[in-house]
């Protein structure tokens, strides 16, 4: 198997920056996300070491690279249980779930599910001082010419992140009832994330000055996230969204706006019902875009939000890519590209991490289609 790349006349950085400004690139920008099992099988199918992640990114023509300050503080949470994994910074708990194609770590036990406000206030969270901001200089240098970003689909995420600690049911109850403990937890981890992000941006601004550049010439965007919909409907009401979600996202959007940085928001499920509000708040791009969810089809998104947002995703990891054949995959990806490419505002990407049940030949077909059909 091989990837036949499109002829390129731009760097990844220029390509992505053009799309974020709705300007014509040489081809659509390309991104990649996968579970470890399919990622290793794909690397091997392309003649690479299964652990050669950077080599795989190069082979696929991926334009995006993540950077961030690593936590180097003390372990705040541990466990002696062999059947559990505990996040040492935040203390949420995971267990291994096996399935026919491999397995994954899933959240469980929910250590603050019944916690009082006092217990939440005393729960250890990482100090923004305990991150290695000096390491960002080497990361910027190593990714020269790439589109680099801070954050991920979990940055500033209210519902899903609170669910790691409280469980999803209790988290939704917290939002509906204004539960003191639940809201305090949300504000504590959001505050820590915002402070850390501000320190990261400040560190990269210093790097940019040394290079005699502006910050937004070095750092391309910030990636935020929120789970906003099921496959069929909004996850919460507009009232709750405007009361509890958007006000907590606004400081992140305002911070990025102060520095002239584009923002992209990961939005699972049927989420377009919030996009108008996010546009007003300064959001510039949206991610995930599950095409099978209500009001998330490529045609609907282009018609409703084209010219006002850039788009990243649409290639469903729970549809043709996983359950179709090569011919189905080529047609599906071609159709999505032809719908989304006009207006120069689309980045080709899986809607979520590729799952372990995805045939390798379909993944190769998808990326070859992006390089073949995605040329302007």
Contacts of 293 (CB under 8 A, 6+ apart): 229, 230, 231, 232, 269, 270, 271
Rounded CA gap, 214 and 217, in Å? Answer: 5
Per-residue pLDDT in tens (0 to 9) along the chain, 376 residues: 999 999 999 999 999 999 999 999 999 999 999 999 999 999 999 999 999 999 999 999 999 999 999 999 999 999 888 999 999 999 999 999 988 888 889 999 999 999 999 999 999 999 999 999 999 999 999 999 999 999 999 999 999 999 999 999 999 999 999 999 999 999 999 999 999 999 999 999 999 999 999 999 999 999 999 989 999 999 999 999 999 999 999 999 999 999 999 999 999 999 999 999 999 999 999 999 999 999 999 999 999 999 999 999 999 999 999 999 999 999 999 999 999 999 999 999 999 999 999 999 999 999 999 999 999 9
Return the ∠ at Cα 197 (arms to 192 and 199), rounded to 5°: 100
Backbone dihedral angles phi then psi of residue 100, each to the nearest 5 degrees: -60, -25
Predicted confidence at residue 305, as pLDDT, reads 98
**Residue 70: strand, helix, or coil:** strand
Rounded CA gap, 289 and 345, in Å? Answer: 14
- First-to-last alpha carbon distance for the chain, in angstroms, is 25
Predicted confidence at residue 103, as pLDDT, reads 85
| Residue whose C-alpha is closest to residue 277's, from 321, 237, 313 | 237
| Residue whose C-alpha is closest to residue 270's, from 290, 254, 299, 253 | 290
Predicted confidence at residue 342, as pLDDT, reads 97
CA-to-CA separations, 291 to 227, 280, 341, in angstroms, rounded: 15, 24, 15
Rounded CA gap, 90 and 14, in Å? Answer: 36
Predicted confidence at residue 102, as pLDDT, reads 81
Rounded CA gap, 115 and 162, in Å? Answer: 13
**Residue 109: strand, helix, or coil:** coil
Predicted confidence at residue 79, as pLDDT, reads 87
The dihedral built from the CA positions of residue 40, 46, 47 and 52, taken in this order, carries a sign that is negative
**Residue 120: strand, helix, or coil:** helix
| Residue whose C-alpha is closest to residue 30's, from 247, 355, 346, 290 | 346
CB-count exposure of residue 60 (10 Å: 0-12, 13-18, 19+): buried
CA-to-CA separations, 330 to 244, 324, 335, in angstroms, rounded: 41, 10, 9
| Residue whose C-alpha is closest to residue 20's, from 298, 285, 280 | 285
CA-to-CA separations, 327 to 43, 141, 362, 365, in angstroms, rounded: 22, 40, 9, 8
Reported as a single tens digit per residue, the pLDDT across 41-63 is 999 999 999 999 999 999 999 99
For 126, the token pair is 């990482």
Rounded CA gap, 337 and 341, in Å? Answer: 6
CB-count exposure of residue 44 (10 Å: 0-12, 13-18, 19+): middle
Rounded CA gap, 57 and 373, in Å? Answer: 19
List, in sequence order, every residue forming a beta bridge with 95; answer none if it has no partner: 106
Dihedral (Cα; 86, 355, 332, 54), 10-degree rounding: 80
Q: Are strands 131-132 and 70-71 parallel, antiparallel or unpaired?
A: antiparallel
* CATH class given for the domain over 12-74+125-373: alpha beta
CB-count exposure of residue 235 (10 Å: 0-12, 13-18, 19+): buried
Backbone dihedral angles phi then psi of residue 157, each to the nearest 5 degrees: -75, 120
- Does the pTM of the predicted model rise above 0.85? yes
Domain ranges for the chain, please list them.
12-74+125-373
Rounded CA gap, 71 and 88, in Å? Answer: 10
């Amino acid at each position: 198997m091989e990837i036949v790349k499109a002829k390129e006349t731009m760097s990844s950085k220029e390509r992505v920056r053009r799309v974020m400004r709705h300007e014509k690139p040489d081809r659509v920008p390309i991104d990649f996300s996968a579970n470890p099992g399919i990622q290793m099988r794909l690397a091997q199918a392309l003649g690479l070491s299964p652990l050669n992640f950077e080599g795989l990114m190069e082979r696929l023509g991926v334009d995006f690279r993540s950077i961030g300050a690593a936590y180097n503080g003390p372990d705040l949470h541990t466990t002696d249980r062999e059947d559990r994994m505990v996040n040492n910074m935040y203390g949420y708990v995971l267990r291994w779930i096996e399935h026919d194609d491999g397995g994954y770590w899933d959240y469980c036990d929910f250590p603050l599910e019944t916690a009082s406000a006092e217990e939440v206030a005393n729960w250890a969270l990482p100090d923004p001082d305990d991150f290695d901001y000096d390491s960002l200089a080497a990361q910027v240098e190593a990714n020269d010419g790439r589109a680099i970003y801070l954050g991920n689909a979990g940055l500033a995420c209210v519902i899903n992140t609170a669910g790691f600690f409280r469980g999803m049911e209790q988290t939704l109850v917290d939002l509906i009832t204004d539960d003191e403990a639940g809201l305090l937890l949300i504000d504590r981890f959001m505050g820590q994330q915002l402070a850390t992000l501000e320190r990261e941006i400040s560190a990269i601004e210093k790097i940019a000055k040394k290079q005699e550049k502006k910050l937004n010439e070095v750092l391309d965007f910030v990636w935020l996230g929120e789970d906003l919909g099921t496959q069929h409907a909004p996850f919460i009401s507009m009232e709750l969204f405007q009361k509890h979600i958007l006000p907590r996202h606004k400081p992140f959007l305002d911070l990025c706006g102060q520095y002239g940085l584009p923002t992209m928001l990961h939005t699972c499920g049927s989420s377009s019902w919030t996009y108008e509000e996010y546009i007003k708040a300064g959001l510039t791009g949206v991610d995930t875009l599950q095409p099978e969810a209500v009001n998330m089809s490529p045609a609907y998104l282009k018609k409703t939000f084209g010219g006002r947002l850039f788009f990243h995703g649409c290639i469903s990891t729970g549809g043709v890519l996983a359950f179709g054949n090569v011919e189905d995959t080529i047609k599906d990806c071609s159709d999505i590209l032809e719908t989304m490419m006009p207006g120069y505002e689309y980045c080709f990407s899986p809607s979520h991490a590729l799952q372990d049940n995805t045939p390798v030949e379909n993944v190769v077909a998808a990326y070859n289609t992006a390089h073949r059909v995605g040329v302007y």
